[in-house]
Amino acid sequence: MAIIVGLIAARLTRVTSINTDGARASVDATPAVPSSNHSPSASATSRKAVSSRSASGMPKDSSSEPPLEKDPRRPGYDAARVFGLRMDSAKLLFEAEPRDESWARQRESDIEASALVEFKNLDPDVRMEIECRTGTCRVRVHSRNSYLTDVMAHFPLTCLAQFAQPDFGDSTSENPGAKDPFSDFYLMFGAATRSSDGFAAQRASTCARYRDDWLRGASTQ
């Protein structure tokens, strides 16, 4: 599966997510929990964004899969699958989920251990606020380095999950006078990545290959 690194610098007309085979995720006309009337803001559409994909290869035949469970409180709920099939807004999906304390606490620690040291290589003052729920996490990155807040590259966050979507907030380029510029990044984990072993396998198989490209991009800013 070929990934075109040059997409990192491309400006998109809307914020999209990329599924496992590199195509845009399909969005059902009747979104999952909750109903989504999401339309990207002007600030989001002006950003440079690349959404993540997983390490799996060919697209799955959805007709052979079990019915989609949209209730995060019920067995069989898969945040990545719900997002990939029915949601256009990761933020709404995140807000609809209750917190699974044991999973969320561990996944927050895993994400921080994976990404914070990489961010600090480019901005020693960067801060991350990570909040996970049932299968979705919001990572808020505070930095005055616009490369960390205005660009959604594969590394070091989106390679950790099956789907990712930015929600650019009070970012540097939009508000240069902001005292504490940040952007939010949402990560969706499913059956393949929700467990600790699945998370580790995803990180090992995908993240390392994008690190050099990410650092090269930083050097051009």
Top mean pLDDT of 112-116, 145-149, 169-173 is at 112-116
pLDDT tens digits, 28-55: 322 334 444 333 332 333 344 444 444 3
For 123, 167, 172, 212, the CA distances from 177, given in Å and listed in that order, are 18, 19, 8, 31
Q: What is the pTM of this model?
A: 0.74
Taking the domains of the chain in order of start, what are their residue ranges? 13-56+66-219
Residue (of 133, 130, 40, 37) closest to 94 by Cα position: 133
Structure tokens at 172: 């540097």
The predicted pLDDT at position 141 comes to: 95
Q: How confident is the model at residue 66 (pLDDT cuts 50, 70, 90)?
A: confident
Give the whole-angstrom CA distance, residue 174 versus residue 121: 24
Q: Please check the confidence at residue 117 and state whether its pLDDT lies above 60.
A: yes
Q: How confident is the model at residue 103 (pLDDT cuts 50, 70, 90)?
A: very high
Q: Which sign, positive or negative, has the C-alpha torsion 20, 198, 161, 2?
A: negative
**Range from 29-38, 84-93, 112-121, 206-215 carrying the lowest mean pLDDT:** 29-38
Residue whose tokens read 């990192």: 8
Q: Please check the confidence at residue 62 and state whether its pLDDT lies above 80.
A: no
The predicted pLDDT at position 160 comes to: 96
Give the whole-angstrom CA distance, residue 114 versus residue 106: 12
